[in-house]
Every structure is written in C-alpha cells, then in structure tokens.
Structure 1
C-alpha cells in the first residue's frame, strides 16, 4: 500500500505549492481528512502493486492468490478494481516491450528529490529502466478529472528522485525520461518524454519557489489548484478574489444588446440616468474563469459549514435541516410478493429493460465487448460546452456535428 506519511512539499501537491507558495504552511496547521474515494484509491493501488510484482518479479501463485484474496475481502473492494488494474498492467507490458531487452521493473519505489525540494520525498507506482530510458508510470484510480502527464510537476519530481536512487547502478546511461499517467476509469493514458538534461534544468528552476514554500514566506495565489487544499474554505485570499466579482453586479454583455438598446442606454447615460455597465468580450472571458472558481468556492464553503455543524460547531446564521427523502421498502422482495398476492401480475410489477452500453462494457470487459459489439457502437459529438482555451480537447466544429450521423455511402 502507498505510505501514509507525506512530505510537506509532496510531489502530489506540487502543482499547488508551485503556484501558491503559502499553501503548505497554511495547510500544516489544519486537520487532515480522508474520504471513501481516497481509501478506494489506496486499495486499488495495493492490488495494482501486487499484480506488477507478480508479473515482473519472482512470486509464487500461492503467495499471489493469498494476498489478492486478502485484499478482495476488504470492505471497499469492487470487482472493477480488478479490471482497471489489469488495464494498468497491460499498459506496463506494452511499455516493457518497447525496450530491446527486458527492463528492470520495480513497484512502489520510494524516492528522494530533496536535492531540489527541501525534505522532498515520495513513492512512484512503477519505475522501469532499460537501455537509455527511465520510465515512470503513475496509476490514478479516480474518475473525476483527467490528469495529463505533459509538464506534470508530480511526475517530474518522481523522475528526479528515481534518477538519484538508481544513479549508483546505471550511472550516466540514462539519457531520457518517459513519464506516464494511467487513469483506466476515464480511459485516459498520457505520456511525456524529456531528456535528463531538460529534467534537471527544470528541477533547478523550481528550487527558489520550493524554498519559498518551505520557509513559510510564501504568497497566497488562489486558482484552480485550490481544489485539493485543506484550507480552501477558510482561505481569506480566495474569499477576496471571489467577493471581488461584486464589482460587476448589474453589468450586461455588450454583445447581447441590439443597436437600438445600445443607443437607448447611451442616451440614458448622457441624461444622467443610472444604466448598467457594458462588459467587453475580453471581460466576459475573464469573468467566466473567475465565475467557475466562485461556484467551486461556494460549494467548498457549504461543505465546510455542513461538516462543522455536524460536529457541533456553530456557524452563525445557519443550521442543518433534513433534506428531501424518498420512501423505500424495508424488504423489497417481501413487498413485491405481497403485491402479487393482492392480485397483480408479475409482468406488471417488473420492468424489463437492457443494461446501458457502459454497464454492459463493465460486465463483459473492454476487449470482449469490443470484439462482440464494437461494430454496433457509435459516438456522436456531444453538445457544445464552454471550455478554457488551454483545454486539450479539440474545438467544437458545428459542421462536423451536423454530418456526424451521415454515412459515406448514403
């Protein structure tokens, strides 16, 4: 299992402390918490580690089955973990086959990157070395947000630590580093490759920032990276950024007004009457980003207040009330039997319908599903959805969407 202890400047939180250097010491004084998702992730990682050890090291079937059965007995075990860790193992095997000879493979490798980050250490899910290439692979069990390996500071810190650990064995033979992030539940597999020189230059470039974050002299810089901060609901700097949106209350997008409305507003303004301000398209673009952060900030405030009230801590002006509740049978089978005994036919009581595509794929497994019904599956373009320009997905093409269902031989 992954270790419970974490460095103050951990690799997993690097994207946060590199942007908000005040975050580490701010969070240090706040209680740590866990969640069902985190515990599920730890269990899935343990299963993944066991499978890597079985495939790439010497382990008897008896030992493997004994350990796997023990993990499957844990309360949070889900059969899906078997399938996702199998996909992870398949990807590792594909990577191993790219080497000219069998590479050295190790799982759950503890690494030290303190040469670049004060007291920095962490654990790599898998390290693979062969020829002139070091490969770091990170398994993520979550299904919330896809994480890219490109320019990922967590992966780069792991790689720096792995280079240091294996330097006594491989010396200067390693020339390039390949970093991959596997998220099987999101069907997301990304890879980034850089030279050892580029990696070490990056490590040198973040030294001043890391030292600032470690010293406690950092600055608060709210942003999307606040999502996993323990103090996200109590951060005054984040509150200041979001409450500043009040300055735009009453404003309207200039592009949404007709020429007549614009002329009317200008006339009202000239006569001294109060009129709403007009937002430029550039301001709207900026406010869309800030508004998204505002929504998340409010949700974080709600979560914090709910937890506080549940723990008996008062939040002035607020209380907890019972939410909407649906009726339920204490014993569904017995209830349905009683309904049939009352004269209702079983065909009326039960609704027969097939499983969804996703449920059938989960039932069969990805490859068997593809082999059996892949020819019947289509994926039309989704509805247009706003995304920031930095989003790696392709821009929506209305023309392509219009013709997505048209056959080439129609």
Structure 2
C-alpha cells in the first residue's frame, strides 16, 4: 500500500500558496487518471534502468503502457544520470548514489515525507534528480518547493555524515525537452525552511489560512467547486456582458486572462454535477438527467457483412491508412523515419492567443499592404 502525506512534496506549491486546500481535499476522491498511471509506469521503468546501470539486481516492470516512446525517454533519463555520475567521478572517485530514497522532512512539515528519484552525494555537493514524465506543464527547478523539500529531507539524513555545502536540484522532463537545474546552499535552504516553510506548513496542516485562486490550484481534486475560483471569475461581472466593441483593449485582455479557465471550469462543473446526480440520485431545482444523443452502431459487423453479400451488396468497405502515430508504433521510430520520413509534414498550427509568460516563440504576422502604406 502506497503512503500519501497530507502535505506532500509534489503538491507543495499548492499548499504553500493556499494552506487550507490539503484538508479540504481530504473530503474528495483522488482519481487515478491514465496520465498519472502512465507516469507511475515510466518512473518504475526509469528506476529499473538506473538500478541496472549501477549494477544492482533488478527486474524490468511489465505494463501495456510501455511503448517505444517511454523506452526512449527513460533511456534518455538513465543516460543523463550516467553522464552526471561519470562527471562527478572525475573529482569524487566514490560518490554515493541512491534510487527511490524515502526522504523525511517532518521537522519542518507535519508528517512530511516524499521519495527522491535519484540522489548522488559527492563530497560537498548533494545532487537530486527528479523525473517528470508529464508533457502538459513545463516544470522549472528554480525555487521549486518540491525539490527544496526533497533537499531538506536528504540533508536530514546525510548532512551530519558528509560536509555538504550546496544542493544541485535538477528536473528532467524528457517529453518537454526540458532539463532545469537550480543550485542552493545549505544555508539558503534552511533559511527558507525557517522563515517561510514552517509557518505555512503548520497553517496547511490545521486547514487554516486563505485560499488564493491561481494556476497552482489546477491539480486540486476540489478545484471544480472551489469558491475562490468563482470569486476570481466574479470580477468579470462588472463588464455586464458588454459587446466586445464596447470594451477597451485593456478590458479585452482582462477577459482573455479568464477565458481558458472559464471554459475548462464550465465543463468540470457540468461533469461534477452529472456525476453527483448519477451516484446519489440528487434532484436539482432547474436541471434533470436525460439520455444524451448517441450514434447508431451495428451490433454484429460479421452478420451485417453476410446479409449484405447475400443480397448482392459488395461495395461495403472503405480502406484508409492507420494514423501516423499508430504507423510509427507499428514500424518503430527508426524504420518509420527511413521509409516514410520524407512523406511526413507538420502543417502550421492555428494562431492562438496565450499569456506573455508562455514560453513559445511569438508569432509575428506581417500585413504587407499596411507596412508599405497600401490600402486594403
């Protein structure tokens, strides 16, 4: 059985920003999504490869989720660990490497613990490498509270045994082509723990403090019905649903800041209300449960084929290629690139507005007639 800390390292950004959330989340179901399962399998496969790399006896995990992409990405992770280890050995002949190490930081966070994917101790430096298999959100190591908690937990174990002066924390996120590293001194980490972490962790453990809505709430299991989310979007009511041509540019930008989350929230609220109705027979004053639209299907394709042929209908088949992704999985990346690489193209994506903080390169569309003073 896997233990779960109330104040987990992986959700640290959330409970440090919104201390009451962890206690609220205890009343809601934690869903195991396909993405989360995939991440668990990838971590198991990566663990196997690193253990094998350092000469430990281990057994390769088996899962239907393991495909060529996962094999490649976990190979890249193991290769990165090996390269780092070889570099470290040039100045520290006998570094200590630990895989899936339990890290206890309960002296700063009530009942706080976590698991470090890979730790390397080399003289005055402690290295912590964390595999992030997700491809949805780019994760930065700089001032990353999860990594800093891992660092504090590791220092609790090794600081008295080794003369550690600094901790190098690395996020390895292969599907985002992201390797992010941050270095902090032991004094910096302990100062953060004493000046900020302890107080907020105690508030979070008690369920006290203020919930401030923002991106850090997106993975909360009670985000759908979080009042702070409604309050955040309520400020749009001052526009009184004005037509777009009545809004100023700055007002339009303010609305744009809310659009993506409003659309997502609307879908989540409907899904949540439907689930509650189905599971508890809840009756709403203005809504009811009905059978949704569905698409007709054949109950037995083979019998349909027999009936059609028996009655002279032969033109009943359509041949189409399998998807590009399925074709790549069928052939393997190398064979696919050799045979079909020159037949693959990536069309331009549809232009879309995103916040300035988005790391994608800005798309500049030039209007030639305007640039040269011409008329439309």
Among candidates 323, 348, 358, match of residue 391 of structure 1? 358
Among candidates 295, 299, 316, match of residue 263 of structure 2? 295
Q: Deviations over 1:350-400 (max 9, x none)?
A: 4143641x444444555665677667766565332211122222222336x
CA distance in 1, matches of 2:162, 2:306: 70
Indicate conservation of the 8 Å contact 1:9/1:118, yes or no: yes
RMSD: 3.2
Partner SS, residue 170 of structure 1 = coil
2:7 aligned with 1:9: yes
The 3 A distance-change label for structure 1 pair 86 and 326 is farther
CA distance in 2, matches of 1:361, 1:87: 19
The aligned runs of 1:162-181 (5 Å cut-off) are 162-172=154-164, 174-181=165-172
The 3 A distance-change label for structure 1 pair 95 and 338 is farther
Q: Which structure 1 residue ranges, 5 or more long, are not aligned?
A: 257-277, 400-410
Structure 1 window deviating more from structure 2 (210-219 vs 195-204): it is 195-204
Among candidates 231, 248, 251, match of residue 240 of structure 1? 231
2:338 aligned with 1:351: no
Indicate conservation of the 8 Å contact 2:20/2:207, yes or no: yes
CA distance in 1, matches of 2:4, 2:168: 24
- How big is the shift at 1:97? 3.7
Indicate conservation of the 8 Å contact 1:106/1:128, yes or no: yes
The 3 A distance-change label for structure 1 pair 285 and 28 is same
2:294 aligned with 1:325: yes
Structure 1 window deviating more from structure 2 (111-120 vs 84-93): it is 84-93
1:203 aligned residue: 193
The 3 A distance-change label for structure 1 pair 285 and 47 is same
2:143 aligned with 1:151: yes
The 3 A distance-change label for structure 1 pair 242 and 124 is same
Among candidates 179, 184, 197, match of residue 190 of structure 1? 179
- How big is the shift at 1:281? 2.4
Partner SS, residue 159 of structure 2 = helix
Alignment coverage as a number of residue pairs: 359
The 3 A distance-change label for structure 1 pair 86 and 156 is same
- How big is the shift at 1:314? 0.6
The aligned runs of 1:27-176 (5 Å cut-off) are 27-59=25-57, 64=59, 68=61, 71-72=62-63, 77-80=65-68, 81-99=70-88, 100=90, 101=93, 103-130=95-122, 132-172=124-164, 174-176=165-167
1:269 aligned residue: none
Q: Which structure 2 residue ranges, 5 or more long, are not aligned?
A: 367-376
1:259 aligned residue: none
The aligned runs of 1:242-321 (5 Å cut-off) are 242-253=233-244, 256=245, 278-316=246-284, 317-321=286-290
Higher relative contact order (CA 8 A, sep 6+): 2
CA distance in 2, matches of 1:21, 1:56: 40
Superposition TM-score, scaled by structure 2 size = 0.81
CA distance in 2, matches of 1:384, 1:252: 23
The 3 A distance-change label for structure 1 pair 280 and 344 is same
